[in-house]
Chain A
Amino acid sequence: MPCVAEFPQLERLAQREKELGFRFLGLEVKGLLAKMRDVVKEKKTTFPILLDDRRLAREVLQIPGTPTTFVVDRQGRIRARLIGAAEDIDGIIAEVLRRI
């Protein structure tokens, strides 16, 4: 479960929303509501997880799989697309946020 494995790093990143000036949003793409709620409870997740009820991820953003991370600038433009899990994902995203 690569996405869930990254939750501690993601939570650490979400705690830096004010410092780095961004909003962190999860987007659940498989419609697994009960499992998602279990994970949120178990991992004590604080960031919001949205439901992809219009297949935004698959059909519009064309993600090849999960996790896929999009970093969007203040003008609403997608500036980075990061595919797959990484040990230091929070540091990588933070660096992208600093530069955009």
Chain B
Amino acid sequence: MDRSVRQLVIALAVFALLAGGCARREGTSALFILEELETASAVKDPSTRVERLSIFIDNHPEHPYRFIAYNRMLETLGAEMKDEAGMAARLAEALAKETEFLARGELLLGNFIYLMEKDKSAAAAFADSLFLTERSPRLFLIMGYYLMDPKADQDLPVKCFLRSADLSTGRYEKAQAIAMAGAALEERGKRDEAKRYLAMAAGNPEADMIMGKILWEEGKRTEAIDAYVACAARMPGARATMKLDSLYALVNPGANDLDETIMARRIGDEGPMPEGVFVDLDGKSYDFSKLKGTKIVLYALSPT
């Protein structure tokens, strides 16, 4: 083999080894970091657990798992230790350090949920106080969900959802927030306004479901079925909840094409799957870019 070719082959082999090693280390470290978080979270004594979680956050100041550590720390202080002063101090300390808006959102959300369980008016006032300073779409979306209680402030949930929509940069996140604004308005009897937002969020299954219900009640049955089909395409479990089969049969007597109609709406092209290397529960790495050429089913889940 020519010397330069041999050198190139060796260089490529070294690069491949290093790249593989890096991928393995990246994956393995994710598992190690989560193991560290689990160990800190499993400490029986709550004060020691708070300290261990605090150390975890200091050790991994930029890692996304710190979001979980914050939640567990605040939960321990609030729900378990009933130490509101300690919780407020830790929250203030963390907020002073955190500049990333999503991390700040998680922290504030932890405090909001704690307040919601204790004093709903205080939680609503707290939510209202965040509009000028915070930029996390998830913070406002989740606060809106909690505030949907009809007994709570009438306008605040809608305000939260619309703020979330304004802050969202992703189309799915934005559509979810707009859909929920529509849902909150519909729940409050503001049907025309609700329809305006639900139409803007068309394609979001919750928006389609509520729009279907409104249209059905208005006697616009063909349009209602269309909205219900769109919902079932994205949210298969809703087909039974909406009693779509019987409604479809009422509007289209004798038709037996509902499965096909839903499937046609189900398949589209929403763009490339993001790339990245992920590690599984045993530490084995999976590089999404290397899975091209194979169909993938990715199931996002939680064990709770």
Which B residues have a C-beta under 8 Å from some C-beta of A? 30-31, 33-35, 37-38, 42, 63-65, 67-68, 102, 138, 170-173, 176, 205-206, 234-240, 263, 266-274, 276, 278-282, 284, 286, 288, 291-304
Contact flags A79-90 to B (C-beta < 8 A → 1, else 0): 111111111110
Interface of A (DSSP majority class): mixed
Instruction: Determine the distance from Cα of A52 to Cα of B170 in the docked complex, in whole angstroms.
Output: 19
**Nearest chain B CB to A85 CB, angstrom units:** 5
- On whether A72 and B295 interact (CB within 8 A), knowing A3-B302, A53-B34, the answer reads yes
Select which of B170, B268, B279, B288 is within 8 A of A51 by beta carbon: B279
Main secondary structure of the interface of B (DSSP, over half): mixed
Residues of B near A62 (CB, < 8 A) are 170-173, 176
| Residue with the greatest number of chain B CB neighbours at <10 A, chosen from A4, A13, A49 | A49
The smallest C-beta distance from A39 to any residue of chain B, in angstroms, reads 5
**A10 vs B263: C-alpha distance in the bound complex, in angstroms?**
20
Q: Which one of B268, B284, B293, B300 contacts A66 once the chains associate, using CB atoms below 8 Å?
A: B300
What's the nearest-Cβ distance from chain A to residue B249, in Å? 19
**Given the complex of chains A and B, what is the CA–CA distance between A74 and B296 in angstroms?**
8
Contact status of A56 and B266, CB under 8 A, knowing A30-B302, A83-B234: no
- B206, closest chain A residue (CB): A64
Contacts known (A25-B298, A57-B300, A67-B300); A84 close to B238, Cβ less than 8 A: yes
User: A32 CB to closest chain B CB, in angstroms?
Assistant: 5
Would you call A54 and B276 a contact (CB within 8 A)?
A: yes
Q: List 12 A-B contacts (CB under 8 A).
A: A10-B299, A51-B34, A52-B278, A62-B171, A64-B206, A70-B300, A81-B234, A82-B234, A83-B234, A84-B205, A93-B297, A96-B263
Do residues B293 and A27 form an inter-chain contact, with CB atoms below 8 A?
no
Taking CB atoms, residues of chain B closer than 8 Å to A59 are 102, 170
Is A23 located at the chain interface by the 8 A CB criterion? yes
Query: Which of A4, A13, A51, A74 is within 8 Å of B294, CB to CB?
Result: A74
* Residues in A neighbouring B266, C-beta threshold 8 A: 80, 82, 96
Complex interface: chain B residues within 8 A of A33 (CB): 34-35, 37-38, 281
Tell me, in angstroms, the Cα distance from A82 to B211 when the chains sit together.
19
Q: Are A78 and B270 in contact (CB under 8 A)?
A: yes
Closest to B72 in A: A31
Residue in chain A with minimal CB distance to B26:
A53
CA distance A3 to B302 in the complex (A): 6
**By the criterion CB–CB under 8 Å, are B236 and A89 in contact?**
yes
Nearest opposing residue in chain A for B68, CB measure: A31
Query: Which chain A residue shows the least CB distance to B293?
Result: A74
Contact for B138 among A13, A58, A88, A96, CB less than 8 A = A58
- Contact between A95 and B263 (Cβ–Cβ < 8 Å)? yes
Query: What A residues does B291 contact at CB under 8 A?
Result: 23, 76
CB-based nearest B residue for A85: B237
- The CA of A71 and the CA of B268, in the complex, are separated in Å by 10
**Interface assignment of A12: CB less than 8 Å from any CB of chain B:** no
Q: Is the CB of A35 within 8 A of B304?
A: yes
Q: A76-B272, A80-B268 are in contact. List 10 more A-B contacts (CB 8 A).
A: A27-B301, A50-B280, A51-B279, A57-B300, A66-B302, A71-B296, A77-B269, A87-B237, A96-B267, A99-B263
| Cβ B172 vs Cβ A53 within 8 A | no
Are B294's CB and A53's CB within 8 A? Answer: no
Residues on A with C-beta less than 8 A from B282 are: 48
Given contacts A32-B304, A67-B300, contact A80 B267 (CB under 8 A): yes
Bound-state CA distance A81–B236 (Å) is 10
Expressed in whole angstroms, the Cα–Cα distance for A79 and B31 within the complex equals: 30
